[in-house]
Chain A
């Protein structure tokens, strides 16, 4: 359980996190979404005490992270894959981390095996690929068998098999009753992994709801219709809030009506329908419509020039 109350972080005149309130519940995978610079990483850093909040507070399992007797048992954190000294081997890194809590070598070997690092465990981290570094970061996060996991972009740089492994792992950990908070830019991945989504935009909570509710927020649903007598059917459907967009494959995307109404209308006028598919918005659509006003680094020509001058 992670609880943030009026959590705020300012850097000089810039407000990175602006009074956010949220609760990350155990037993669920909570996805943390937001454009670059929305404050996701800063929030995660404040949860584990790396950054001090300017105002407000955040607790983990009822207490500030730094007040826990065994922090690694409470929270396993992957902040960025390269939070490791490049001159040390993966095994020595994990052993040094484990030693602080008196965690034995058996557990170190176990997380190495779990993350598939056996073959590179005795190599220096400086030579690791992004994916290997990511696996090492996850191994370190799992060391203390923590009740809460915070993973910032855990699938970044992983191969498809690794992506699936992370998905299975976090689902499994949540099913065991643990709290899992993860951020990712891969919307399809997030849609498959998360139960609950918190969307940040410019340091504020833009949405905090289940994945289904977030998708529903994306607004109008549409229905894909295919018929040999499309014109007759569309004439029968005509209404002020119904619109039809022809698609390249000959079907028509109808918004403002439901599959049921279209089917009934077709039956009434005796038109055969070849396809009638309700199309729900994707998480990506929902996310983009939620954050379209919140994007700080929009990729148009103007802001690119501005960014280069910084």
Chain B
């Protein structure tokens, strides 16, 4: 420290803007090792799961005792499963990251600096949600298409080939990436309400892992439980990256069957928005 205390540069044009808050949140997200590790883990685990699944897939044998051949629809379904296999774990990592983006600020005291710079508070949550959604969805897109490319040699060798030009496959892969982004935003909302990392992660993972098991158990005795099964976050999420099987004419999808992709996307979006709104209310009302 020098004795010179003069403030040389004045910053007269400095002004708080939403674009500035977005930039700030982008710097914050990308300057933490936990972010880099989380995203790298999603990509690497997905490649690992994809390769494992592709190289161990067995279509069985046909009536003549020869190895069975997949038809085009079957190959597409298996390809989709391979490309999205890592998302089952990836969604949990995205949720942890989403919680930490806010709870990390509370546990370290950073939130005081953040809210002193943006005293209206809500723009912070809004900017965090946008930055987190965009970057997590991009990581999701990189993941599914990278797995598609990396597993191609193994898949083609084993007759599991599919065309990315197939709109149903393409939309399902994009759906998986968007689900990852929305899960992170849902967890951000949870982290804002709960504020503690351990508590936030417990709640977010509880909703994704424990709630479906509980409702499943209730479903055997209660119709309403069976009816809400498809609307649970992780179940609707899975429906976002599935290609719906056409039902035979005259057969109705019973209660408890997966939602169509568009409806599933809206349901997941609702989970994220509700969590974010609850987060916004607590952020506005409570002392930092």
Contacts and interface: CB of A to CB of B under 8 A. Distances in A.
Interface residues of A, number: 58
B11 A80 contact: no
Given A101-B16, A142-B7, A162 B117 contact: no
A135 B1 contact: yes
A115 interface: yes
A100 interface: yes
Interface residues of B, number: 43
A70 B15 contact: yes
Interface in A90-143: 92-93, 95-97, 99-104, 106-107, 110, 114-116, 135, 140, 142-143
B108 interface: yes
A5 interface: no
B14 A84 contact: no
- Chain B binding surface SS class: loop
Interface stretch (B30-38, B60-68, B233-241): B30-38
A69 B120 CA distance: 10
B112 to A, nearest CB: 4
A247 B122 CA distance: 64
Contact of A101 (B3, B4, B8, B15): B15
A77 B25 CA distance: 20
Contacts of A52: 287
Contacts of B7: 114, 142, 145, 173, 176
A51 B9 contact: no
A71 B27 contact: no
Interface in A156-177: 161-162, 164-165, 168-169, 172-173, 176
Interface in B18-43: 20-21, 23-25, 27-28, 31-34
A162 B113 CA distance: 22
A221 interface: no
A32 interface: no
Contact of B13 (A92, A97, A102): A102
A87 B1 contact: no
Nearest to B118: A100
A85 interface: yes
A48 B119 contact: yes
Interface of B: 1-11, 13-17, 20-21, 23-25, 27-28, 31-34, 104-105, 108-113, 115-120, 287-288
Given A70-B14, A87-B33, 9 more contacts: A48-B116, A72-B14, A83-B109, A83-B111, A84-B110, A100-B24, A102-B14, A106-B9, A143-B11
11 contacts: A66-B119, A66-B120, A69-B15, A83-B113, A84-B109, A88-B32, A97-B113, A100-B21, A102-B20, A114-B4, A114-B7
Interface of A: 45, 48-52, 65-66, 68-73, 75, 77, 79-80, 82-89, 92-93, 95-97, 99-104, 106-107, 110, 114-116, 135, 140, 142-145, 161-162, 164-165, 168-169, 172-173, 176
